[in-house]
Structure 1
Amino acid sequence: MKKEYDFSKGRRGAVLEAPPGKTRITIRIDDDILRWFRTQVDKAGGGSYQTAMNEALRRFMESSENHLERAIRRVLREELSQYRIGRKAR
């Protein structure tokens, strides 16, 4: 071990930069949720629990968007059916 170290070129913060499209954050997760994701990754033969959490959040986000779109389409069909708009005449 050296007696003194030169930190003149040192930088504060994370040593590794996040790749494009990713943001480094710190969040608090309930113990049981973290344990569940880690167990799932272990059962799958390895990987990253953080990636698994990101994928789960993405699936939820996309399904929520699709759910909203389906709900809007259903309401429009119900409303338009009252006026026979958008249906072929018989």
Structure 2
Amino acid sequence: MAEMKAEYDFSKMKSRKNPYASKLKKPVTMRLSEDVVDYFKGMAEEAGVPYQSLINLYLRDCLAQNRRVEIKWPSAA
């Protein structure tokens, strides 16, 4: 088995773009309540991650758990 070097010189490597980068995330514009943004920013700061990533993780969890929103509108009398 080959041993790992103590150091590697990556300065001569050619960089290339990730071919999957455009498929990883899609930029969207959303309007969120200020208290919602503050909530996620606070949690994100505690976790040490960007708040947009945290919102994405939360929504991904909703997707994985197949959560559905149940909206009950007040009935017009």
TM (normalized to structure 2)? 0.54
Question: Residues 18-71 of structure 1: CA distance to partner in whole angstroms, max 9, x if unpaired?
Answer: x32211111101111110110001112x22100000010010011017x9xxxx
Q: How many pairs were matched up?
A: 47
Asked if 1:48 corresponds to 2:50, the answer is yes
Structure label with greater radius of gyration: 1
**Relative contact order (C-alpha < 8 Å, sep 6+): which is higher?**
2
2:62 alignment counterpart: 60
**Root mean square deviation of aligned Cα:** 1.8
Q: Counterpart of 1:58 in structure 2: which amino acid?
A: R
TM-score, normalization by structure 1: 0.47
Structure 1's unaligned 5+ residue stretches are 1-18, 68-90
Quote the Cα distance in structure 2 between the aligned partners of 1:23 and 1:41.
20
Gaps of 5+ in 2: 1-20, 69-77
Greater helix content: 1
Moved over 3 A (4+): none
Matched AA of 2:42: T
2:31 is aligned to: 28
